[in-house]
Chain A
Amino acid sequence: MIDRRNFLKLATIAAGSFFIGGLSRLSSILSQDYPWAAARTPEYWKTPPPKPGVRYGMVIDARACIGCRKCVYACIYENNTGRKSGIEYIRILEMKHREINLMETEHYFEKSPDPDFWYLPTQCNQCENPPCVDACPVKATWKEPDGIVVVDYNKCIGCRNCMANCPYWQRKFNWIKPEVPEEDLNPKVPVRPIGVVEKCTFCIHRVRDGMEPRCVEACPLRVRKFGDLNDPESAVSKLLRTRRTFRLKEDLGTEPRVFYLG
């Protein structure tokens, strides 16, 4: 028979061990996977540095896109995206002819090109007025001087407010720890930690070195054109001068820098 005092002792010991056990387990996991970070500068967005006076933009000839998803896979390999993370920086939308209705899209089409549909490649629009940057409560994401919106993976608290605020659904969260095979690792791109948001960077590590983003290079039909919008002689500037273009959800005032030929 347990009397009250013994019961009380037992309860206290049990309660204490519950808490101490639980808390020590939590703290060990915290210190193991998430080292406490002092104020760190994200060196990975500084090398190579942005070129002054440059404003990057992309023009996509959506009429010619066949929905082969070569760009999607090239992007995953280029950017060290976790192979099992379910993250793609590019999403190709299959839509009915005669309409651009973003509520009536097929994301998981299997056969392409299908003559009954047309294909719209979407990725981060690198907005001039990015709602995601304003939504971040801790300034963990910002617009670089050359217009590319980047995320500090060592600062992101993982609240996912930027994902809710992106009108183009172009921010993805690392729900699991990204796994990239050692031999496929791209040394120029940091592998993201678990629990942070990431997004398309216009292949910032390539374009600042004068190369094109990987998706532009990977497209078999050369549907994508990339360049400096401030330079009147660049391919994109010429296209924007001579052809009719549209942008997605222009009514939201985000001023995307991904243009579509229409």
Chain B
Amino acid sequence: MEVRNIKILGVEFRIGELFRASRSFYAWIFILLGLIAVGLFAWSVQLRYGLVVTGTRNVVPWGLYVMNFIFFVGLAAGGLIIVSSVELFGVKKLAPLLKVGVIEAGTCVFLAMLFIIVDMGHPERAYWFILSPNPPSVLTYDFYILGIYLTLCIIDAYALFSGRTKWMFPLSIVSLPAAIGIHSITAWVFGTIKSRPAWHSPIMAPIFISSAITSALGLMILITLLLPKVTKLRFDREIILYLRRILTVAVPIDVFFLFNELLIATLPTSAMPEQYTAFLFILVERYAPVFWAETLIAAVIPMIIFLHPRTRNSIPAIAIASFMVVVGIFMKRVYIIIVGMSYSPLGELVYYAPTVIEIAVMAGWIALGMLIFTLAIKILPMEAEAESH
């Protein structure tokens, strides 16, 4: 039985590849499906018993799901920022990453949506976003920009995979603002809350975007290193070194923005009591390990690796540093939520810790994202345009 490739609207789907794959590929798919099943089961438990099965309560109403949401919005935003910079700023070196970048961005924004769906008490009522949107609420715009962004990713992918390279420039003109927009709007959801002084800050959107670019670059480096090991794709060593160079700039910018926030929140002449208490909680109290570990693994160690002459050009070292950056930015999302939520506006302090259900749902959704990514890489023609010319 030979399964033929199918072509829909000029995009070739190499379905046959699925039937010719190695045993380890099927094993991988199987593991992912198992994790997705676990996640779906955990979600069904949550739907039956309510959000009480999560670690969130009235004092800390947002938890692991929202942390994942902003993390994946960041990865998605960073993905299209990298992609559109190829066309807009002529970074031709990164052109081989176009297709991977678009798939990564699309998958991540889809995951972000899934995390919001499980966070809602009534996801089946989401149609009210369309029937009665509330203009003063930033969350309304977040819903729309997520939808627009996913659509843009799909159009971008269609243009790339059907060989319509002429579309890429106009698409990039739209994609870049959308990528900045999706993450700014998500940051403003938190930055515009005057009742949570630790969040109420104009630096929120800049921090979110710098973290987004940092984590997305780290993930792109990991993907570029991993894909040649499991597929026939090959990437130039130069690409990784180039991504590493951008990361060497992105990490200090991210640290600088955060330092601004910390200075305003803690310096005696500027510290407002509520903000100060909240920041002490992540700087020296219960969540201090998360904060300082993040500083170490998302900033200090990667910067040493990127700057030291003996490690800066070593691929394994860059791989380790990139992995640290991605994990570190996730931890940053964790304490950014914690800092605004742990103290209620009436001064009640609650320690948030995720439950098994939350972690299972998270594992399931991330496995689903990996499944989508794996299948897309498998069946879509990933060869870079540059090679076919």
- A interface, CB within 8 angstroms of B: 4-5, 7-8, 11, 14-15, 18, 22-23, 25-26, 29-30, 33-34, 36-37, 39, 86-87, 91, 93, 101-105, 107, 122, 131, 134-140, 155-161, 163-169, 172-177, 194-197, 249, 252
Contacts and interface: CB of A to CB of B under 8 A. Distances in A.
B128 A140 contact: yes
A155 B36 CA distance: 30
A22 B40 contact: yes
A103 B273 contact: yes
Contacts, number: 186
Contacts of B10: none
Q: Which 9 A-B pairs have the closest CB atoms?
A: A158-B121, A195-B121, A167-B195, A22-B40, A138-B128, A175-B52, A137-B139, A134-B136, A160-B61
Interface residues of B, number: 63
Contacts of B33: 14-15, 18
Nearest to B41: A22
Contacts of B50: 174-177, 194-195
A157 B277 contact: no
19 contacts: A8-B19, A8-B26, A14-B33, A26-B47, A34-B124, A34-B125, A91-B346, A102-B345, A102-B346, A131-B193, A134-B134, A138-B133, A139-B134, A157-B126, A160-B61, A161-B189, A166-B345, A169-B348, A177-B50
A156 B122 contact: yes
B341 to A, nearest CB: 8
Contacts of B41: 22
B290 to A, nearest CB: 20
B193 A165 contact: yes
Interface of B: 1, 19, 23, 26, 29-30, 33-34, 36-37, 40-41, 43-44, 47-52, 56-59, 61-62, 116, 119-126, 128-129, 131-134, 136-137, 139-140, 142-143, 189, 193-196, 273-274, 277, 340-341, 343-348
A135 B139 contact: yes
Contacts of A105: 346-348
B29 A11 contact: yes
Contact of A18 (B36, B194, B274): B36
A131 B195 contact: yes
B44 A102 contact: no
Nearest to B116: A159
A150 to B, nearest CB: 15
A195 B51 contact: yes
A37 B346 contact: no
A151 to B, nearest CB: 12
Nearest to A163: B61
A172 B348 CA distance: 14
A18 B38 CA distance: 10
A4 B23 CA distance: 8
B199 to A, nearest CB: 8
A91 B41 CA distance: 37
Contact of A161 (B26, B29, B139, B341): B139
Given A134-B136, A138-B133, A164 B196 contact: yes
A193 to B, nearest CB: 8
B346 A11 contact: no
Contacts of A163: 58, 61
A136 B51 CA distance: 19
A256 B117 CA distance: 33
A103 B134 contact: no
A252 B195 contact: yes
Contacts of B194: 131, 165, 167, 252
Contact of B137 (A25, A103, A134, A252): A134
B51 A175 contact: yes
Contacts of A15: 29, 33
Contacts of A173: 51, 58, 61, 121
B102 to A, nearest CB: 25
B194 to A, nearest CB: 6
B139 A86 contact: no
A18 B346 contact: no
B165 to A, nearest CB: 35
Contacts of B26: 7-8, 11
A33 B48 contact: yes
B128 A36 contact: no
A157 B50 CA distance: 13
Which of B122, B132, B348 has the largest number of chain A CB atoms within 10 A? B122
Contacts of B143: 137
